[in-house]
Amino acid sequence: MADGVEPPPFDNDEEDVKEDDDLFSDAKEKPSSPETEKSPDPPHNGVDHMPDDDIDELFKGGSSEIKLDSDEENEVQDNGDKAPVSSKPEKALASQAKESTPQILVSQATTAKTKVAAPSLKSVDPSDSTDEKEAYEMEIKITESSKMGEGMSAYIVYKIITKTSNPAYRRPTNAVLRRFSDFLGLHAKLVEKHVPLGIIVPPAPEKSVLGMTKVKMSKEESGSSDFVERRRAALERFLVRTAAHPTLASDPDFIEFLEKDGDLPKSTSTSALSGAGVMRLFHKVGESLEKITLKVDESDEWFEEKQQQVEALDIQLRKLHNNIETLSIHRKELSQSTAIFAKSAAMLGNVEEHTALSRALSQLAETEEKIELLHKEQSEADFFLMAELMKDYVALMGAVKDVFHERIKTYKVWKDAESTLAKKRDTKVKLEMQNKLDKITQAQAEITEWEQKVEKGQEDFETISKNIKKEMSRFEKLRVNDFKDNVIKYLEILMDNQEKLIKYWETFLPEAKAIA
């Protein structure tokens, strides 16, 4: 040391302790506590000579985890605080790590490195990844749609072309034909498997009996109506969002959907008029009522804030979606009115005897025809870039609410198991007091069974809570990028159309001034 005092014979032990501290700190992927990094060398280097309060403070700051809102976990934490401090810091850290809840990751789902070349969607920045994983490129396009059959038995098939470097797929390029019910069947399978784990599954487009009936009764073979085109774009966005999620992109059902040749097994439960469809409708009504009645006092501030944020976003997105749809309709009507005005100006120019005025009216009609196309193009941008984006995110807010509700259901299952376990234990106590030895063994077996159910319920609740936090972090990043890209594209189209509009009127102005 600087003062020349001989160091005590604990230097080597201290170095070993620091190395072990670093080892456990790395294993938990958390930085050392501020007390450990900033504390100066004590007069006695051995940890055994530190006061008990300092040791408690040292290991108290060594781990900063968000605790779940469970009663038993608080009891475990209280017991952990009262546990005696071992003379070896590594043993204390190991004990604390064993008592604390392990952090469960969403199988690398929070940091998608998948690059999806599709409408306005980007994967999360790979620089945010905590696990090194090879980035797989994936591009999904629905290139065309065609009508199959005639009359009410007709349906639309969509050609899906997939290009990927993911080795989970048999071929780098796949082209398949899928009907709308196949998309709904895929979504149902993904929801059944992944929503109970807290994973946000992008929603599929809703069925439209009225729109599909018009297509079925139409004699157009190409299936190029506005309804089919809008559905095609919505289905493509659904596939792109699903492929942008690493967990969902590697799902066997999703892979089969994109690369299996021929038709998929018919999904009977997707028909709106089938018995399964009616049962599904009743099930949705029951879930809606359950969401209203099943309320839990949330003690986790993070979940309480997120639920409030989701509710507020949902309300504002619905309002904005309605307003943009209204704007798109008005702009489309403006386009139609402009076309009528252009025809009237052209007819007036034909009957006008004054040469300069007739020529000016003809030029005005041509200018208005160009402006009509601008209004129509802007109306489509209003709809496809903004209105559809808002509609997608209204549906995505519903998917987010579903995983939050699934967490509440998991919590209820856990607490119901705890209540049943308490009753089983009370029953055993009564049997022991009544000295009914023949039933005590069976009662103990039931207690053991329900203890396992309680443990599994707690584990499921902790897992879905941590997964939801990971999913929401990823969802927020994608949402911001999605809105940014679409708003920029929308503004670029708007500015380009305004520049064209100015040029059209500047070209017409000399003709108007030439009238004499």
Q: Whose CA is closest to 480, among 176, 127, 98, 121?
A: 121
Let me know whether 359 and 460 are in one domain: yes
Let me know whether 174 and 323 are in one domain: no
Instruction: Evaluate whether 379 touches 402 at the Cβ level (below 8 Å).
Output: no
Let me know whether 244 and 388 are in one domain: no
DSSP secondary structure code for residue 177 in this structure: E
Q: Give the count of beta carbons closer than 10 Å to the beta carbon of residue 33.
A: 19
Q: Give the count of beta carbons closer than 10 Å to the beta carbon of residue 442.
A: 11
Let me know whether 357 and 424 are in one domain: yes
Instruction: Evaluate whether 408 touches 294 at the Cβ level (below 8 Å).
Output: yes
CA 444 to chain centre: 44
Let me know whether 250 and 330 are in one domain: no
In the chain, % of residues over pLDDT 70: 67
Cross-strand pairs, 157:
146, 179
412-471 pLDDT per residue, tens: 999 999 999 999 999 999 999 988 888 899 999 999 999 999 999 999 999 999 999 999
Let me know whether 241 and 331 are in one domain: no
Let me know whether 348 and 417 are in one domain: yes
Let me know whether 399 and 333 are in one domain: yes
Alpha helices in 260-300 (DSSP H): 275-293
> CATH code at 480?
1.20.1270.60
- Does residue 356 have a pLDDT over 80? yes
Q: Whose CA is closest to 238, among 77, 430, 447, 391?
A: 391
Let me know whether 314 and 165 are in one domain: no
258 belongs to a structural domain: yes
Q: Is 198 left (phi over 0), alpha (psi -120 to 50) or beta?
A: left
219 belongs to a structural domain: yes
| Mean pLDDT value of segment 89-102 | 41
55-87 pLDDT per residue, tens: 444 444 444 443 444 444 444 344 444 444 344
Domain count, the chain: 2
474 belongs to a structural domain: yes
Provide the domain limits for residue 228.
Answer: 136-262
- Does residue 120 have a pLDDT over 80? no
37-63 pLDDT per residue, tens: 444 444 444 444 444 444 444 444 444
Measured between alpha carbons, how far is 315 from 397 in angstroms, rounded to an integer?
A: 10
> CATH code at 218?
3.30.1520.10
Let me know whether 235 and 320 are in one domain: no
Let me know whether 478 and 334 are in one domain: yes
pLDDT of residue 283: 56
- Does residue 131 have a pLDDT over 90? no
125 belongs to a structural domain: no
Instruction: Evaluate whether 264 touches 256 at the Cβ level (below 8 Å).
Output: yes
Let me know whether 415 and 491 are in one domain: yes
246-304 pLDDT per residue, tens: 899 999 999 999 999 888 887 665 555 555 555 655 555 566 556 555 666 777 899 99
Instruction: Evaluate whether 105 touches 199 at the Cβ level (below 8 Å).
Output: no
CA 467 to chain centre: 11
Give kind and range of the element (H or E) at residue 298. none
Identity at 490, one-letter amino acid code: Y
| Mean pLDDT value of segment 314-339 | 96
475 belongs to a structural domain: yes
Least confidently predicted of 93-97, 111-115, 219-223, 313-317? 111-115
| DSSP 3-state of 185 | helix
Query: What residues contact residue 371 under an 8 Å CB cut-off, 6+ apart?
Result: 338, 501, 504
130 belongs to a structural domain: no
Q: What is the torsion angle, in degrees rounded to the nearest 10, for the CA atoms of residue 420, residue 424, residue 430 and residue 436?
A: 150
Q: Whose CA is closest to 23, among 91, 73, 83, 85?
A: 91
- Does residue 193 have a pLDDT over 90? yes
pLDDT band at 220 (very low <50, low <70, confident <90, very high): low
